[in-house]
Amino acid sequence: MIHTTEVEEMRTYCIIGDPVSHSLSPAMHNAAFKSLSMDDVYIAYKVSSHELESSVESLRSVKISGFNVTIPHKIAVLQYLDEVDLLSRKAGAVNTVATIDGRFKGFNTDIQGFLQPLLNRGIDFRGLSVLLFGAGGSARAVVASLSSVTGVSKLVVANRTYNKSSELSKQAELQGLTSSVSMIEEAKVMAKRFDLIVNATSVGLQSNETILDSEDIDGGSTVYDLVYRPVMTKLLENAREKGARIIYGYEMLLEQGAQAFEIWTGLKAPILAMKKALFGVFQEPK
């Protein structure tokens, strides 16, 4: 027999995006619920851009407890939320939504999620030059992260669509960074001059494509690929070949997921269980 209280206590979460079949968030969050003996469930919904508004309204009517937002909706979703926190307003992008008293509140856990793996490695931000590929939702979070630490000396934003990189570079300036714009081909030529290279494009996602070849990379740089599937992207392979320090996309995935879990549940995220779930899906790199 099912008791009403039990049914009411089971909460539902989801991720919306397109494509979304590559997402590891369901495995990660369901493992977290299981490890804390919670009945909550997390599922993935493929939502195309023209369905975004109606899908957000459907989530409202089913009283979803919270949801994540991924490619390509992190920017567009803002207009359908009741409230956004300061950090997501700064980034102009949301990746986590919590239902609070029936209202949808947006957060951006990619910001701390991006920063944490750099902090874990003790990266010194003083005088750091950064080349950022991409100007979408996650690139906005990267800019907000870089502006939250002291010391970054310059940022160059390189994106396929010039208008978007120009807009993001202006945002970076407003957030206190010294920023300029480059086309991707030019950026490849000057990539060796940067301390930190970040790939925030979807190039390399489930493919063997790469934004930089090994001859474009200097061994003294740190190369951070936000793409996490495959874990060892062609870009990271190229960087490792040149002796550069590499940061995997799964590290950010884990950190942003842990923070989302904490926002939704108010509990400390069982990060080890979440990590184990990821590596049940793919092998932990050596």
Ligand X SMILES: NC(=O)c1ccc[n+]([C@@H]2O[C@H](COP(=O)([O-])OP(=O)(O)OC[C@H]3O[C@@H](n4cnc5c(N)ncnc54)[C@H](OP(=O)(O)O)[C@@H]3O)[C@@H](O)[C@H]2O)c1
Q: Which residues are catalytic?
A: 74
What does the per-residue mask of binding to ligand X show for 4-43, with x meaning CB under 6 A? ----------------------------------------
Binds ligand X (CB under 6 A): choice among 11, 90, 105, 164: 164
Helix (H, G, I), strand (E, B) or coil at 142: helix
Quick check: 252 binds ligand X (CB under 6 A)?
yes
Report in angstroms how near the CB of residue 92 gets to ligand X at its nearest: 11
Quote the CA–CA distance of 51 and 49 in Å, as a whole number. Answer: 5
How many other CB atoms are found less than 10 A from the CB of residue 57?
A: 10
The closest of 103, 108, 117, 104 to 90, measured between CA atoms, is 108
Quick check: 249 binds ligand X (CB under 6 A)?
yes
Quick check: 66 binds ligand X (CB under 6 A)?
no
Quick check: 72 binds ligand X (CB under 6 A)?
yes
What does the per-residue mask of binding to ligand X show for 227-246, with x meaning CB under 6 A? xx------------------
Would you say the C-alpha torsion 106, 282, 115, 222 has a positive or negative sign? negative
Quote the CA–CA distance of 67 and 44 in Å, as a whole number. Answer: 9
Report in angstroms how near the CB of residue 283 gets to ligand X at its nearest: 17
Chain residues 174-213 in contact with ligand X, contact rule CB under 6 A: 200-203, 205
Range list of β-strands (E), the chain = 12-17, 41-46, 66-69, 83-84, 96-100, 103-107, 129-133, 154-158, 179-182, 196-199, 222-225, 245-247
Backbone angles phi, psi at 131, to 5 degrees: -110, 120
Chain residues 94-113 in contact with ligand X, contact rule CB under 6 A: 110, 113
Quote the CA–CA distance of 125 and 168 in Å, as a whole number. Answer: 20
Using CB under 6 A, count the residues that bind ligand X: 28
Report in angstroms how near the CB of residue 50 gets to ligand X at its nearest: 15
Buried b (16+ CB within 10 A) or exposed e, 13-24: bbbbbbebeebb
Quick check: 49 binds ligand X (CB under 6 A)?
no
Quick check: 139 binds ligand X (CB under 6 A)?
yes
Binds ligand X (CB under 6 A): choice among 47, 98, 197, 226: 226
Is residue 260 a contact partner of residue 96, using CB atoms and an 8 Å limit? yes
Is residue 28 a contact partner of residue 254, using CB atoms and an 8 Å limit? yes
Report in angstroms how near the CB of residue 162 gets to ligand X at its nearest: 9
Quick check: 136 binds ligand X (CB under 6 A)?
yes
Binding site for ligand X (CB under 6 A): 70-72, 74, 110, 113, 134-139, 159-161, 164, 200-203, 205, 226-228, 249, 252-253, 256
